[in-house]
Amino acid sequence: MTEPTKDFEALDARMRETWDAILGQSPLIHTLKGGCDDRRLYALYLIETFQYTRHNAQNQALVGVRLTPGHTTYLQFCLRHAAEEAGHEQMALHDLKAIGVDPAPVTALAPMPSTEVLIAYLYWISIQGNPVQRLGYSYWAENSYHYIGPVLKAIQTQMKLEPKQMTFFVEHATIDTRHAEQVKQMIARGARSEQDWQDIGRVLEISLRLTGNILTDVQREYERLQAGAPSPYAFLQVLAGSR
């Protein structure tokens, strides 16, 4: 049997093209490029980050639970990463509190529709289909700071945020460097066929596009807050004009 090509170049190209489409077309990114300094926009994105991050440990662990005996290395990877991800959503709540948002109503909110779709998709690909496919999500997520770094810098500068108000992103910039290498090593070991590589690439693109949809929902809700329209996020109006 011929050894499958471990084509990380193809994965990287797919990731780059998808990020370029998101960053080039997202209304939220255009708002930031226009110099937006409104912390309500940052708070909305933090809330949705909290919403999907709180499920990442569980859906990662589900992959390990359904692995058949003999996949020891991948099982260890899944359970170790699930344990390391547990509780990371608390950093998003910390940052919300640090900019003046009461975290109590945040934990009672339902996710925005696009966030709920991403959460559901990650559970779906974790409980059915090719077990290695979830590595596609991990691959782009652990490498995302290469693409969103300039966006985060603009947010910090324009909204005059201190590092203690961006701990989720500051901490993950360091954590994800180590995780990215671990994910790459796991793909190199766990992707044993061309189908494995195709499934990883497919999940990479779909989950990244679904995450891009969250930016659109966040921008839409931000515009509702600006207009004073009824919104479950009305408690964020405390941030209007804050610096």
**234: closest CA among 44, 59, 7, 37?**
44
Residue 68 has what pLDDT?
87
pLDDT tens track of the chain, all 243 residues?
334 446 899 999 999 999 999 999 999 999 999 999 999 999 999 999 999 999 999 999 999 999 988 889 999 999 999 999 999 999 999 999 999 999 999 999 999 999 999 999 999 999 999 999 999 999 999 999 889 999 999 999 999 999 999 999 888 666 656 778 999 999 999 998 999 999 999 999 999 999 999 999 999 999 999 999 999 999 999 998 766
- Distance (Å, whole) CA 96 – CA 194: 43
**pTM, to two decimals:** 0.93
Cβ-Cβ contacts under 8 Å for 241 (sequence gap 6 or more): none
* DSSP letter assigned to residue 228: T
Question: 219: how many CB neighbours lie within 10 A of its CB?
Answer: 21
Helix-helix angle 89-98:167-190, to 10 degrees: 160
Domains and CATH numbers, the chain: 27-223 (1.20.910.10)
**Residue 236: per-residue pLDDT:** 97
